[in-house]
Structure 1
């Protein structure tokens, strides 16, 4: 399904908190994945990932391309010229075509390219000041802050890191700040994608997660606003509770949600699965 980004001055996703706080988790996760890949055997590179039809090599080819996009998008946004490249992007077909077109590039070259694009993204993020983190740039939901772009970049890579490592029995130990940032973002992403496609719903989604403890409140109206909350906050249409990593993977369409969702709140959670044409479990 083709994306329907919201461009312009009113972002569809707004995240509370210091904009630059995402830098540390993003940089750590990228470095950790590059280090893990450096010791891969040929068998590990060719092993099936959790992404249907993709080997681990294919996932890293994809992540190399996204690294390049994030760097381009952030740089353009910081210079006051946010891009609009994703207006015709299909998040299923376009990455598949890119991976299929990667040819017979060796795994050594795949790794070298990924490390180089990682270094470029890390260097760019390390150079940003408050104004840079607050500038508007492009992500799949549309024009959002550079900080929100970095949240999307972290979430996407965090999930794909597990797509590669979990089947190998090498799942990384969860880092609390990475899990919290990813959970906050993906909780907003689904409703934002739904709004961009014309959903008319509104309401409040709350997440009370443990291991690490993360409390998220997502206000959904004409846009999606994410803020910290107190556990058990009242007056919400939907509350999700449970293990933080399990909730994060469920919202990322990697495992089923274990709690019953009221029919009138299902739309809050279907934005991502509908966009990727994945039937929710």
Structure 2
């Protein structure tokens, strides 16, 4: 399946998961430090809610992407929950990516941020095996390497339990693919959902 089709599928699945949430759940702290669930949902609206000139202006105004992203995600996260859910559905097929980034970056973004929102709520984050493999391949690529936890992933073997995917050599770190992707992009909050002889070493790299 085309990667953009997988992105659309995951956006619609996330909308289905978010729609029943109550106000307290929308305001639950996510795995992204300082962000509530609603802020993460707001972040995912950026590709269709903000034009490129407005995004560039925000980066200039706030002196960098990270600060602009935080401010814009918080602003968009203040929209009514029904609007955030509708945005994911209505714009599921939006194909706007970051400059120079492949479609797999969008797929990783929606799946990892799904974990950011749903794991603290005790909800499932599973994705189809094909989706899991594409995300993890991207995360382990040169363009995804900057997302890894400090200290990197060298000397360890990572293996998904729900897809035919593995990477690296050494003591194993195993887990559901979407949870592995979250950990490999720096989410310490999912480490307890992983296993394997390599987990203690991997955990140390977050300290």
- Asked if 1:143 corresponds to 2:100, the answer is yes
Higher strand share: 1
Residue in structure 1 matched with residue 166 of structure 2 by the alignment? 215
Gap runs ≥5 in structure 2: 149-153, 192-197
Matches within 5 A, 1:130-279: 139=98, 142-144=99-101, 148=102, 150-188=103-141, 189-191=143-145, 209-211=159-161, 212-216=163-167, 241-244=172-175, 245=177, 246-255=179-188, 258=199, 260=201
| Structure 1 residue corresponding to 2:42, chosen from 49, 57, 61 | 61
Deviations, residues 147-198 of structure 1 (Å, cap 9, x unaligned): x2x210110110111111111111233421121111111111343689xxxx
Distance 1:24 1:116 in 2: 14
Distance 2:180 2:31 in 1: 17
Aligned residues of 1:61 and 1:114 also touching (Cα < 8 A): no
| Structure 2 residue corresponding to 1:113, chosen from 81, 84, 87 | 87
Distance 1:92 1:67 in 2: 18
Structure 1 residue 242, shift from structure 2 partner:
2.9
Distance 2:135 2:56 in 1: 24
Residue in structure 2 matched with residue 101 of structure 1 by the alignment? 75
Structure number with larger C-alpha Rg: 1
Distance 2:41 2:173 in 1: 30
Distance 2:171 2:105 in 1: 21
Distance 1:44 1:59 in 2: 13
Aligned residues of 2:25 and 2:37 also touching (Cα < 8 A): yes
Aligned residues of 2:27 and 2:38 also touching (Cα < 8 A): yes
Deviations, residues 24-70 of structure 1 (Å, cap 9, x unaligned): 4322211100111222222221222111222111111111114557x
Q: In structure 2, the residue corresponding to 1:105 is in which secondary structure?
A: coil
RMSD: 3.6
Gap runs ≥5 in structure 1: 1-19, 74-83, 125-136, 195-203, 218-237, 262-278
Provide the TM-score with structure 1 as the length reference. Answer: 0.53
Distance 2:19 2:10 in 1: 14
User: Greater RCO between the two (CA within 8 Å, min separation 6)?
Assistant: 1
Q: State how many pairs are aligned.
A: 183
Q: In structure 2, the residue corresponding to 1:30 is in which secondary structure?
A: helix
